[in-house]
Amino acid sequence: MAESAAAAVAPSAELLEFPKKDKRRMLHAVYRVGDLDRTIQFYTEGLGMKLLRKRDVPDEKYSNAFLGFGPEDSHFVVELTYNYGVSSYDIGTGFGHFAIATEDVYKLVENVRAKGGSVTREPGPVKGGKSVIAFVKDPDGYMFELIQRGPTPEPLCQVMLRVGDLDRAIKFYEKALGMKVLRTIDRPEYKYTLAMMGYADEDKTTVLELTYNYGVTEYTKGNAYAQIAIGTDDVYKSAEVINHVIQEVGGGKITRQPGPLPGINTKITSFLDPDGWKTVLVDNEDFLKELQ
């Protein structure tokens, strides 16, 4: 009896392969800001992003602005949320940064400075490596790493999150989300290891940069950064796989069962990874319809 029950719920090999075969793309990062116009001004004039669209949802007392380096149907973008009357948030210690690839970090830093932005790390080679980087802080305190790179179709190139167990996080993002480990960097002299994870090469797409600081297993999440969204052709199959991986890895949680959102009918499912970072999977077709 117990055996047949177990057999009935065991996912097929085909289902477990689904995340790797699915049409996945990182769509956007969602986070809260205290003044939408102030952030739009900094991102457009200081960082060179375009304002793609805005929407106001007065019934729910919030507004959104979408910004990036290209249209949402082909680029990763940021979705800023302004909650009426809330002017500041706690970013916590777990969120790391967003990154922008540019052909001239020095020039971009000068531009940020000229627009009154805060440069927290001057341009130069990364400690322990060769890439030329800089860090700037946006008006709410979110960090942007500026990375010197050749021309790229996707300048908004990283979302960095800190995790407490890198092997567990890698296994989760590989199996539950079908991401590949694109590169790992261990810098024992600075006591950290990074794993770049994603769906295509780092210089062509946005990747998730998971950072493990030796011996640090817990971070605070604050209430500012919310989630990343990823496209899928099937939220139902995706959620089945995620459920299975949650049990296998021993961490994570489905926070929204797959199905259409009331009112707009876009099918989504959402979950937390073993470190508590949230991801929303969005039906690809519904997402494109929403943009029309």
Ligand X SMILES: C[C@@H](O)C(=O)SC[C@H](NC(=O)CC[C@H](N)C(=O)O)C(=O)NCC(=O)O
Q: Is 248 a catalytic residue?
A: no
Site for ligand X in 113-132 (CB under 6 A): 121, 126-127, 129, 131
Pair of tokens at residue 285: 């077709």
Q: To the nearest whole angstrom, how small is the minimum distance from the Cβ of residue 198 to ligand X?
A: 13
Cα separation, 201 vs 210, whole angstroms: 16
Q: To the nearest whole angstrom, how small is the minimum distance from the Cβ of residue 130 to ligand X?
A: 9
Catalytic residue among 3, 17, 103, 145: 145
Q: To the nearest whole angstrom, how small is the minimum distance from the Cβ of residue 205 to ligand X?
A: 15
Pair of tokens at residue 178: 């079908």
Candidate list 34, 48, 192, 248; residue touching ligand X; CB under 6 A = 192
213 touching ligand X, by CB under 6 A: yes
Q: To the nearest whole angstrom, how small is the minimum distance from the Cβ of residue 290 to ligand X?
A: 33
Report in angstroms the alpha-carbon separations of 171 from 177, 178, 224: 10, 10, 26
- 225-232 vs 143-148, strand pairing mode: unpaired
Binding to ligand X by CB under 6 A, coded x per residue (else -) over 37-76, reads ----------------------------------------
CB 79 within 8 A of CB 99: no
149 touching ligand X, by CB under 6 A: no
Binding to ligand X by CB under 6 A, coded x per residue (else -) over 83-102, reads -------------x------
List the binding residues for Zn(2+). Answer: 79, 97, 145
Residues that bind ligand X (CB under 6 A): 96, 121, 126-127, 129, 131, 133, 162, 185, 190, 192, 211, 213
Residues with catalytic annotation?
A: 145
